[in-house]
Amino acid sequence: MGAGVQKSDGGGGGRRGRRRSRAQPMAEINITPFVDVMLVLLIIFMVAAPLMTVGVPVDLPETAANALPSDDEEPLTVTIDASGALSIQNTPVDQADLIARLQGIASERASDRIFLRADGANDWNRVAQIMGALNAAGFNNIGLVTDIGGPDLMGTDG
């Protein structure tokens, strides 16, 4: 790939005095294929990165809260959409199966954090019921996901 062969000058002028030429390895490295591969990988990751977010469409409420520190692992997300339907990551799940499925997933994960995304059209009672059920099942590290830029306590937009 990167090495080639370079012929050496045998010296001597005539037919009789000419030495047999000997092939020597080239000492240059061709990095063009390496750079091409890296550029292609960069483009692939730039296109794929925005697609790695949770894809259940919800209209999150806006608050002035700061973002939670992130883990190395993809966060486990429970979503309550506008109609009140539940999903884990992108997979819809019945309310009766929610806790059992979460316990199965959480047993294979290093982090115990669960992010709860709830559409702003939901009744607070529904969100509180889901949080209470998660807490009763032993999931105590629950983070509520909101959009930033909402009003703070002073009544101004952040």
3-class state of residue 25 by DSSP = strand
Give the whole-number percent of the chain exceeding pLDDT 90: 6
Report percent pLDDT > 70 for the chain: 66
Over residues 116-145, the mean pLDDT reads: 84
Q: Which residue has the higher pLDDT, 126 or 74?
A: 126
pLDDT tens-place string over residues 43-57: 998 888 877 665 666
Show the DSSP H helices in the chain as ranges. 32-48, 98-106, 124-136
Alpha-carbon dihedral angle through residues 119, 123, 128, 131, given to the nearest 10 degrees: -30
**Is 8 or 96 the better-scoring residue by pLDDT?**
96
pLDDT, tens only, 57-109: 666 666 666 666 665 667 788 888 888 888 988 888 888 888 888 888 888 88
Q: What is the mean pLDDT of the chain?
A: 77
3-state secondary structure of 55: coil
Domain boundaries, the chain: 5-51, 55-148
CA distances from residue 94 to 22, 58, 108, 130 in whole angstroms, order as listed:
76, 18, 21, 12
Specify the pTM: 0.52
pLDDT of residue 138: 84
Which range scores top for mean pLDDT: 3-12, 68-77, 128-137?
128-137
Residue 64 has phi, psi (to 5 degrees) of -95, 10
Give, in words, the CATH class of 55-148: alpha beta
Contact yes or no for 58/79 (Cβ under 8 A): yes
Q: Look at residue 71 in the predicted model and tell me its pLDDT.
A: 56
Helix (H) or strand (E) holding 86: strand 86-88
**Does residue 142 sit in helix, strand or coil?**
strand
